[in-house]
Every structure is written in structure tokens, then in C-alpha cells.
Structure 1
Amino acid sequence: MIKNFPRIAALTCAALVATAPVTAAAAAAVPVRGALMKAERVVRMTGGEVNAFLGKAGFPSIENAKGVDVYSVTYRTVDVKGRPTTATGSLVLPQTSAHELPVVSYSHGTMADRREAPSVTSTGEGRYLPVYFATHGFAAAAADYLGLGEGPGAHPYMHTATEAGASVDLLKAARRLARQQQVTLDKRIMVTGFSQGGHAAMALGAALQKDTDLDVSAIAPISGPFDVEHAEFPAAVDGRLDGRSAAFYLAYWLTSMDRVYDIYQKTSEAFRPPYDAKVTGLLDGSRDLETIAAALPSTPDELLTPAYLGKLGKPTGQLLKAIRENDTTCRDLRAGAPVRLFAAAGDRDVVLANSASCLKDLRARHVDATLTEVGDVNHFTSLRLSLPKVLAWFQQRSGTAAG
């Protein structure tokens, strides 16, 4: 079921105001992870404008909605090899008299077009969700991930270490930006995310537990692909996933992991013609999900060679390494941070078995964890039904008043 949140026109009343960026010389002199390189306020909305904005995406009206300021942020992080690079993301601050704010880190779902990332888009999931949390009084950070937004290179889709690393480093850059606005951000982060972002949220939670400057107070992933080996790949191959969605996800995952792990010698080893000649170009960051999916076949059987389909069922070598090094998000978390998983029985993009597997791994590590099934609904509806529950839990954890 390939589709995105509704795309709507940017609010004409949004002010475009630049903050003082860190100079190029200063950035070069401080090549530390999380260093703030540039920040620009790209949107300012009143509470009424927030309700109009979210309403066009189907959100109910929010009583006492706060106005928000949306900032696009460029900061330092590391790539898949641990080498210095830059990434982009967004920070959304509520317009409030409070000088210390609770913090939500929101990790977005799968996107192939770098222009749909939180720091760039004027609409879409990457903008709606941070605004949703910010209008309720939270500072909301949303990383683009590597290779999306204005970040260089290709996006390493579902690469655990960089999903977490880019998100941690954005949170540190956000603290510097907030101080410029005379605001202090709580060091205890509440973490959520949807789809790929559910996977990223779990990875971020574990990374924050190891960080010396920040900590995690609550984790609430929604419909995340936590167990590619035992849940998501089998469902993609045996038809439990929507066929076109499965073909897209497999193409994205395989081409991305090949850049990192060298999981096939040439594209024709994994992809049938004519897709072997065009799949890498389709996923170059310039096309959206719908465009890519339309150019791919409607089932994995038509996309992948019989030999590689067999490998997905019994992975070995570099393919197995790629799977297992990135399937660890629910096994890396230590006890101490409670987890509330949300998923849907009717999801044909990310099967419920992913969250069930995650719950089992968390409880084996004595993590306070629960799984809420939000019904026999599709992938995107699972997000809409889960969000109010996540918000209420975060408000309870942070001691902020509802509404």
C-alpha cells in the first residue's frame, strides 16, 4: 500500500527568518558530532494556523493549540564507515513562556525522495508529526537520516547505527539551537517513530542509554520492522505483504545494504531484467515512493531472481551479516526505559509479527514493555490510531497537562 500523507500547499503566512548560522570557519574548527553548523527558521505558525495545517491532514482540532516555530538544522555526524559527514533535520519549538521544555524525538517512516525529509518538506509526515508534538508543548526533533534532506550521498535505508547516530547528533545540535532561543531542553528524551522510524526509534533509545550527555525516558515505536529475518522478509516473500509494497521495500533495502555490505556481486544476481539495469537509478533520492513503485513490478517474484528469493529465506554470508547487524534494535535496549509498542493486525506493509518479536526480545531483557494492537487496520491508519495514545503517555511521563 504505497502512499504518503496528503501533500498540501505551504502556509502562505509562514515567515522565513534566518537565525545566525555558525560560520564555515567555526564549523571547520569544531568537527565534533552534534556540532550545529546552520539553523534557519522556516515556518512560524499561530495556534490557529497549526490547527488549520494539521486539519488538512485529518488531525482533529486541538484545544489551546500552541503556536510553533519550525527550524531547519544542519549539523555534524558520521557516515556508515564512521567518517565525518553532515546531516540535516528539523527542530520544532512551541511558542511558550516556559524556559525548559520536555523533548520528543520523532523518527519518520520510509521515504525515498530526499525532498520529503522533515527539514525540507512543507507538508507530509516529517512535518506534521513534529508540529503535532510541539503544539502540545514539546520541543520536537526529527532527523532526516543520512542522505535525505540536504545531507550528502545516498540514504542507507534501515541502517541501525546511522539512524541512531544521526538522531542523537541532531538532539545535541538542537540543544545548541534552543539555547540561542533562550530555551533549555530536558536531557531525558521521549522517543517515537513510525514504520522505518519505529526501527530508528528503538535504535535511538538504546543509543541514548549509552550517551554521556542525554538519556531516554520513554520509547513508543509504531508499526516498526524490527525483525527483518524472521518476520518482514518471510511476509514479503509469501504474500502476506501487499505485493507492490513488498517489491518496493525489498528493492530499497537490498540496494542500500549492498552499498554498505556488498551483498551481491552485480545487480543481475539479485534483480531480474529489466529491473537489474534500472533499480539503482530509481532509488537515487530524486523520486518519490509512488513513482518508484510504479516503475517496479507488482510482486517480489517478478522483481528478484529465484536464486535471490531463496537467499532471503536462508541468508548466508554478507546478506546474513547485513540482516543481523541491523535486526538488533529490540535486543540492544537495557532495562530502565519503558517501551510501549503499537501495531495493527491488518498491516500489510509491516506485519504485526515484527512488534510481537520485539516484545519478546524486550521482555527477555527485563524491559518494561507492552504491545497495543490498534485493530485490523492498514499501515497508515495504525499511525493515526496510535498517536493520541503516544501523546497521552508522553504527557504523563513528562508531567505536562493534556491539551
Structure 2
Amino acid sequence: MTLTTGAASADPVRPGDRGRLVSAERTTTLTTKQDVAAALTAAGFDAAAARFGVDAYRLVYRTVDPGGRPVTASGLLVLPRGGAPALRTVSFTHGTVSHRSDAPSAMVGAGFVSSPALTYASAGFAAVAPDYLGLGAGPGPHPWMDVPSETTAALDMLRAARAFVPRTGRALGHDVLVTGFSQGASAAMGLARSLQAGDDRWFRLRAVAPVGGAYDFEHAELPALLDGALEPKSSVLYSAYLLVAWNRLHRLYDSPAEVFRAPYDRTVEALFDGAHTGPQLFAGTPATVDALLTPHALAMLRHPTGPLARALRVADSTCDWAPAVPVRLYAADADEQAADANTDHCAAGLRSHGAEPTVVGLGTPDFAGSRHLGSNVAATAAVARWFGELR
């Protein structure tokens, strides 16, 4: 099933353009709940919430880039093959990927980044999972950990889903339950704040459940990363991704040699072009942060100033508001990639505004030897149960 409504435009953004559907293509059908359960189990996810078969679609839609210019993005929409005609919506924002084909909409069936959306849809929700900018079918490089563009991409994906769903004989209700993992935890908080602020007149925030987030890069994540408290190779990749992606947005350095040691100063930027795979990133980077970064870069990350400090204040503001809906912050114990202090700081920030978040400890879940990845699996099952209880 392929529907096309137009092509991306280079003209200035016009009122109503954001979220306009460009195309929709069905990518996966799992006919029965048993088919969904088998796919989720094979991917390492809990299938207890499966109630319906599902249909999955890749949507391409209009949105804006970090500078407010028109661009297209893509995302995954998964609908249950049963249940009520009017569907409650779950927005799931995924964790870090670097290759554009690792985005949710590029996966056929159940993969690590698409299985949460399949889980929520099979439980009876409309599951909406944006790829973000520069991933999936979106052009250009991905602006990693740029919460403003993650928020606009997620909000406009909801609008595109609302435009498409009636073509399947269903409709989206007003309520949106927001969740996301790792990078997507900050994105989820950004989207939730946007929805509560009334940035869309149709959708209404109902609950928030981010998982394993790096909500406080400056005061929690970067200190742990630089001090060796987190898994070394992940710290290498995250610090490289941050510097490369944010240099494109905020001009942190003039030459790669200022921040990356030789020989990586000649190769690291190209690794984050959306065309290199995870194994290529692993092979193309050293084992430790000290072997990757120059003394200047280490000092810059330890004591941010200028453009970096300003960008961090934006990225680290996602818990600086007062949700008027239930909030649960999910986290594994001793997460090796997202420092535990991130969740503590987020909860404290929300409470300082009068909110009452619940911190849900996930224990020590494991996926491929990682508690961080395991938290995505464990929380998906827990969040699906909680969302199902909310009316």
C-alpha cells in the first residue's frame, strides 16, 4: 500500500505545512497476536501485552530543520488490527542510532528500535515513532541530541499520523501517552512539554514515561563519561557524536584536530554521516575517551563555555517544567551508558516545579550484555501495562 500526496518543498514554511503527509507505505503486517508475540520474542522483548495483530507504515512528512527551514522526515506508524475505531496514541522516541537504516521506519518487523512501537500497537494503541531528522528517509545528517528538532519532528509525526489514520478506517483521539528511550527520553520530555503548552490544538498530553535518559549532560552524563564511570567504548562514541553533531549546529571548533587526536581527526566526522554502520563506528574509534579527545576537548567538555554551554542549557532543560499529568521515570540500576544521576536530577528538577514524578527502578535488566539496552526491553513491558491502566 503506497499513498503519495506530494513532494518536499524548498519554499518557506507555510501555516499548516508542518506535519503535512508526503507519502505512506505499508511495510509490515503481522496478522495475529501470535505473529506479533513470535516477532517480539525473537527480538528479545516481552510479548505479554500482545492482543492484536498489527499493520506498520512508513510515513514521510513535512517538518522543519533546526534553523526553521522546511525539510522532510520519516517515521513509523503501527496500528492494531482490532480494538476501538478511535485509538489512543503512544508516541515512542527511540534511542541513539547513527545509520539511517537503523531508524524505526526502516525496519521490517521487530527490531530493537521498532519493537516498542509494535508492543504498544499490539496492546491496542496507535504507536507513533519518529525517526528524527536525517534518519530513515530524511535527508541530511542527523542532529543528535538536539531536543528542539527532536520535539518538532515528533510533534509533526503525530500530525502526519492523524492525517493518515482515517484512510485505514480508524481515527486518533486527543490523548497522547509519551514515552522514549535513552536519547528518546529527552525527546519524550520535549514533546510532552510541547503538548502541554498547547503547541497542537488537537492532541492532549495524558502521561509521560521516559526511560534511561541523559537528561543532564553537563552535570551528570559528561562528568561520569569523562571520569571513566561509564562503559568506555560507549563513552567514546557518545562524545564523538556530540562534538560532530553539535559542531554542525553550534560551531564548537574550526578544525577536527582541535578536538580529536590523530589519526581520528581525519576520519571521525565522516563516520557520523548516516551511511556508516554501528560496527564501522566501533572499528573506526579508539577504546577510550582519552585516546580520542585532545586536552582542549577534554577541558571544553569538563568546563563548558560559549556555544557549548548555551547548547547544553537547552538540552538539559527537559525536566525544567511542571507536568500536569502522571510522570514515571524508568531507569536500570547502575546503567553503564546513562549515568544514574541523570534520573535523580530530572526527578529533582520536576519536583522543584511542584510535580510529583515516580522513579521506577528496573533492577539489572540485560540485553546483549547491556543494562542500558536492557532497560528499553524491561520498560517497554512495564510502560505498556501502565498505559493500559490509564483511562
Q: Which TM-score tier does this pair reach, normalised by the shorter chain?
A: over 0.9
2:355 to 331, 346, 367: 367
Shift in Å at residue 394 of structure 1?
0.5
Instruction: Structure 2 unaligned segments of length 5 or more: list them.
Output: 366-370
Residue 57 (1) aligns with residue 40 (2) = no
C-alpha distance in 2, partners of 1:316/1:266?
18
Asked whether the 8 Å contact 2:21–2:59 carries over to 1, the reply is: yes
Shift in Å at residue 267 of structure 1?
0.9
Asked whether the 8 Å contact 1:341–1:355 carries over to 2, the reply is: yes
> Structure 1 residues 253 and 397, CA, compared in 2 at 3 Å: closer, same or farther?
same
**Which residue is 1:307 aligned to?**
296
C-alpha distance in 2, partners of 1:293/1:320?
28
- 3-state SS, counterpart of residue 125 of structure 1: coil
Identity of aligned residues (%): 41
Could you report, residue by residue, the CA deviation over 1:90-131 in whole angstroms, capped at 9, with x for unpaired residues? Answer: 110001152101110001100000001111112422221101
One-letter amino acid matched to 2:182: S
Asked whether the 8 Å contact 1:337–1:368 carries over to 2, the reply is: no
> Structure 1 residues 183 and 27, CA, compared in 2 at 3 Å: closer, same or farther?
farther
C-alpha distance in 1, partners of 2:384/2:50?
15
Could you report, residue by residue, the CA deviation over 1:351-377 in whole angstroms, capped at 9, with x for unpaired residues? Answer: 111011000000111123111121245
C-alpha distance in 1, partners of 2:350/2:155?
21
**Which residue is 1:136 aligned to?**
123
**Which residue is 1:218 aligned to?**
207
**Which residue is 1:37 aligned to?**
22
Residue 75 (1) aligns with residue 61 (2) = yes
C-alpha distance in 1, partners of 2:386/2:337?
26
Asked whether the 8 Å contact 1:126–1:142 carries over to 2, the reply is: no
236-245 or 389-398, larger mean C-alpha shift? 389-398
Shift in Å at residue 168 of structure 1?
0.3
1:220-259 matched pairs, under 5 angstroms: 220-259=209-248
Asked whether the 8 Å contact 1:31–1:76 carries over to 2, the reply is: no
2:316 to 319, 327, 333: 327
1:272-283 matched pairs, under 5 angstroms: 272-283=261-272
Shift in Å at residue 289 of structure 1?
2.3
C-alpha distance in 2, partners of 1:63/1:34?
30
Asked whether the 8 Å contact 2:8–2:22 carries over to 1, the reply is: no
2:279 to 275, 278, 290: 290
One-letter amino acid matched to 1:392: R
Could you report, residue by residue, the CA deviation over 1:125-169 in whole angstroms, capped at 9, with x for unpaired residues? Answer: 222110111001000000000000010110000001011100000
C-alpha distance in 1, partners of 2:257/2:8?
46
1:357 to 345, 348, 351: 345
2:372 to 368, 372, 379: 379
Residue 397 (1) aligns with residue 386 (2) = no
1:264 to 225, 243, 253: 253
1:66 to 52, 67, 72: 52
Asked whether the 8 Å contact 2:323–2:355 carries over to 1, the reply is: yes
Asked whether the 8 Å contact 2:43–2:112 carries over to 1, the reply is: no
**Which residue is 1:22 aligned to?**
5
- 3-state SS, counterpart of residue 109 of structure 1: coil
What is the total number of aligned residue pairs between the two structures?
380
One-letter amino acid matched to 1:328: S
Asked whether the 8 Å contact 1:68–1:134 carries over to 2, the reply is: yes
Instruction: Structure 1 unaligned segments of length 5 or more: list them.
Output: 1-16, 399-403
C-alpha distance in 1, partners of 2:337/2:129?
22
One-letter amino acid matched to 1:73: L
Q: Report the RMSD for the aligned CA atoms in angstroms.
A: 1.8
Shift in Å at residue 266 of structure 1?
1.2
2:164 to 137, 158, 177: 177
Asked whether the 8 Å contact 1:340–1:372 carries over to 2, the reply is: yes
**Which residue is 1:99 aligned to?**
85
Residue 197 (1) aligns with residue 196 (2) = no
**Which residue is 1:146 aligned to?**
133
Residue 341 (1) aligns with residue 324 (2) = no
One-letter amino acid matched to 1:383: N
Residue 165 (1) aligns with residue 152 (2) = yes
**TM-score under structure 1 length normalisation:** 0.91
- 3-state SS, counterpart of residue 106 of structure 2: coil
Shift in Å at residue 31 of structure 1?
6.5
